[in-house]
Amino acid sequence: MADEPSSFDPKPEKESKKRFQVFISHAREDAELAERLCDALAERNVTCWLDKKKLKPGKWKSQIRDAIDRSQMCLVMLSRASEASKPWISQEWSFIQSSAWKRDDLMLVPLLLDRVDPPTFLSDWQTLRCDKQATDLNQLTTEIITLLWGRTHAEEKPEKKSQAKTVERFRKISRILAKASGSEHIRKEEDADE
């Protein structure tokens, strides 16, 4: 279920001649659900790029970059298994972020499978949720298609959420640099300690 259900009334996909491609990014542990979702979307005329189905032997990095560049949406499945420190996920997320920086028409969609927080680079985007054990993916595919059509018709990027965390981070950096450059603050702290 979407966090903020869109009020957009999606155009029935059968009325459309436009073909969409969705790039699905997932951890190996979530491959089974990714494949079922890919099949469910294919039934509704949406092509998915899924490594298991499309990746050919050879230069995998360029294949993934090309697939992302040709997609209108990157669906990023997030679970306890999808950690940025895993080399494959790390590379894929970097490619997705790079492409999103270059293209205004690329939509990123975090799909939460567990109770995890989306990474910051996805936090501006509307979140979808899905139970890993879900057998009926009809509602989820409808939400994805709604987003695809909504994005196509609405040119605006999602509204930015609060930048409080970012501001706080930079304040910390500035404070530490000010302390390190001069010794005033350190003196005061040492005096207080004594």
Partner 1 sequence: MSSSGKRYHLGLGPLAFPREASVFINCPFDHDYRPIFDAIIFAALCCGFLPRCAVETGTAAQPRMDRILTAMRSSKYSIHDLSRCRGESDMNLARFNMPLELGMAMFQRFSSKRKADFHDWLVLVPQGHLYKRFISDLAGFDPMEYDGSHNTVVPAVMSWLATRPDAVRTPTPQAVLKTLPEFAKARAELCAVWCDQTPWTDVLTVGIRIGCGAGLIPDGVS
- The residues of the shown chain that bind partner 1, judged by CB under 8 A, are 61, 83-85, 87, 90-91, 93-98, 101, 119-121, 160, 163, 165-167, 169-174, 176-181, 183, 185-187, 189-190
Task: Identify whether the C-beta of residue 97 lies closer than 8 Å to the C-beta of residue 64.
Answer: no
Radius of gyration over alpha carbons of the chain, in Å?
21
Q: Which two tokens stand for residue 180?
A: 């390190």
In angstroms, give the least distance from the CB of 191 to partner 1: 8
Between residues 119 and 150, which has the closer beta carbon with respect to partner 1? 119
Between residues 142 and 163, which has the closer beta carbon with respect to partner 1? 163
d(CA 59, CA 185): 53
Between residues 8 and 170, which has the closer beta carbon with respect to partner 1? 170
In angstroms, give the least distance from the CB of 83 to partner 1: 8
In angstroms, give the least distance from the CB of 72 to partner 1: 20
In angstroms, give the least distance from the CB of 137 to partner 1: 27
Between residues 153 and 185, which has the closer beta carbon with respect to partner 1? 185
d(CA 73, CA 15): 20
d(CA 177, CA 42): 53
Between residues 133 and 181, which has the closer beta carbon with respect to partner 1? 181
In angstroms, give the least distance from the CB of 24 to partner 1: 17
In angstroms, give the least distance from the CB of 34 to partner 1: 19
173: exposed, middle or buried (C-beta count within 10 Å: 0-12, 13-18, 19+)? exposed
Q: Which two tokens stand for residue 115?
A: 């109770």
Between residues 36 and 171, which has the closer beta carbon with respect to partner 1? 171
DSSP 121: G
d(CA 132, CA 55): 24
Provide the phi-psi class of 45: left if phi over 0, else alpha when psi is between -120 and 50, else beta: left
